[in-house]
Amino acid sequence: MRFSHHINSRTLPLIVTSLLFVILFGFGSIAYPSFFSAQVFINLLIDNAFLCVVAIGMTFVILSGGIDLSVGSIVALTTMVTASLVEHQHWSIYSVIPLVLLMGAAFGMLMGVLIYVFKLQAFIVTLGGMFLARGLCYVISIDSIAITDAAYTEISQYRIMLGDEVFISINAVIALITLAVAIYLAQYTRFGRTVYAIGGNERSAQLMGLPVGQTTILVYTLSGFCSALGGVLVTFYMLSGYGLHALGMELDAIAAAVIGGTLLTGGVGYVAGSLVGVLILGVIQSLISFDGTLSSWWTRIAVGVLLCLFCLMQRLFERGGTSFSALFAYWKKPLEPAGRAD
């Protein structure tokens, strides 16, 4: 009885997503003999740790009603700067990592300033940021730089054993810690509540006296920081820096957030949902690779179809309708200004 109180338009997408994950994982376990194991599940986290971190940053941006298209490029730039400093300048890992994290945060902050102070569209500013970061990668080098530094290879190989057979990587642990911090930030701090308020209605938030400007800039700073941290995880995972790393990761991050139940119009969603979103993207990849006959481009199509279904579902919740026909009955009504739905 009490549980039914918790099912509403805010939590339903998250419940649907979690169920979908269970169904997909269950399907894999039935279809492929070796699929159902703790290690396959943990590998989902290990192989997608960087996406998880990037998606967490993206979730905050989307919750505030914005969008950040630069995340993939910042990941690539981070790997490039790291590889170049470690390999060519022989910097120590302890000075490189804080530097690249700071750089990512500063990059995000600059975009936040452009968006808030000059009232520019988040979409176009972060598009510019995407070009800039990718371009800067190529200024450093056009080729891939392999990382051979001992500290990096050690972190990359390190396995934390959970029981006899099952292990987890440092990347996955960092992703889980980031998730815990992000949940705390979103649910239990003034900053988090302000983000939800801005996403709900920026004007109301302003009138309530909330620090809208400061929070907007902080949200993009956080996203830049998460992208840089994602980039650090990519250097651990791939042991290289390359301008073509994380191509299109912004799309995966947005898809993970949307599938995880965050409304694209802002104000509604949970950071934890994005983890489930990332796991679903991961399980689709695993299913396709376990199958062996399906080509990898089916992943893109599957992600597109899922994204579409979840967006349509969001529209239904926004309209407050319950049937699919309500969606297209909407045709007769006047077109609303783009952006906010209500």
The token pair at 240 is: 């290289």
CB atoms within 10 A of CB 25: 20
User: CB neighbours of 23 closer than 8 A, spacing ≥ 6?
Assistant: none
The token pair at 272 is: 């934890």
User: CB neighbours of 227 closer than 8 A, spacing ≥ 6?
Assistant: 54, 57, 70, 71, 72, 74, 75, 78, 104, 108
Establish if 339 lies at the interface with other proteins (CB under 8 A): yes
Q: In the complex, what is the shortest distance from the CB of residue 235 to other proteins, in angstroms, rounded to a whole number?
A: 21
Establish if 301 lies at the interface with other proteins (CB under 8 A): yes
Q: Between 76 and 229, name the residue whose CB sits nearer to other proteins.
A: 76
Establish if 337 lies at the interface with other proteins (CB under 8 A): yes
Establish if 1 lies at the interface with other proteins (CB under 8 A): no
Q: In the complex, what is the shortest distance from the CB of residue 113 to other proteins, in angstroms, rounded to a whole number?
A: 11
CB atoms within 10 A of CB 341: 14
Establish if 338 lies at the interface with other proteins (CB under 8 A): yes
Residues 297, 320, 322, 323: which binds other proteins (CB under 8 A)?
A: 297
Q: In the complex, what is the shortest distance from the CB of residue 114 to other proteins, in angstroms, rounded to a whole number?
A: 7
Q: Count residues contacting other proteins (CB under 8 A)?
A: 55
CB atoms within 10 A of CB 301: 9
Strands (E), 140-219: 145-146, 159-162, 166-169
Backbone angles phi, psi at 241, to 5 degrees: -115, 135
Q: Between 40 and 341, name the residue whose CB sits nearer to other proteins.
A: 341
Establish if 106 lies at the interface with other proteins (CB under 8 A): no
Q: In the complex, what is the shortest distance from the CB of residue 318 to other proteins, in angstroms, rounded to a whole number?
A: 8
Residues 27, 36, 131, 184: which binds other proteins (CB under 8 A)?
A: 131
Residues 24, 99, 132, 288: which binds other proteins (CB under 8 A)?
A: 132
Q: How far apart are the first and last CA of the chain?
A: 31
In contact, 338 and 30? CB cutoff 8 Å:
no
Q: HSE of 270 in the Cβ direction (CA atoms, 13 Å)? A: 17
Instruction: Using alpha carbons only, give the angle 280, 284, 285 rounded to the nearest 5 degrees.
Output: 115
Q: x/- string (CB under 8 A) for other proteins, residues 224-263?
A: -------------------x-------x--xx--x-----
Q: Which residues bind other proteins (CB under 8 A)?
A: 67, 114, 117-121, 123-125, 127-132, 134-136, 138-139, 142, 243, 251, 254-255, 258, 264-265, 295, 297-301, 303-305, 307-308, 311-312, 315, 319, 327-328, 330-331, 334-339, 341
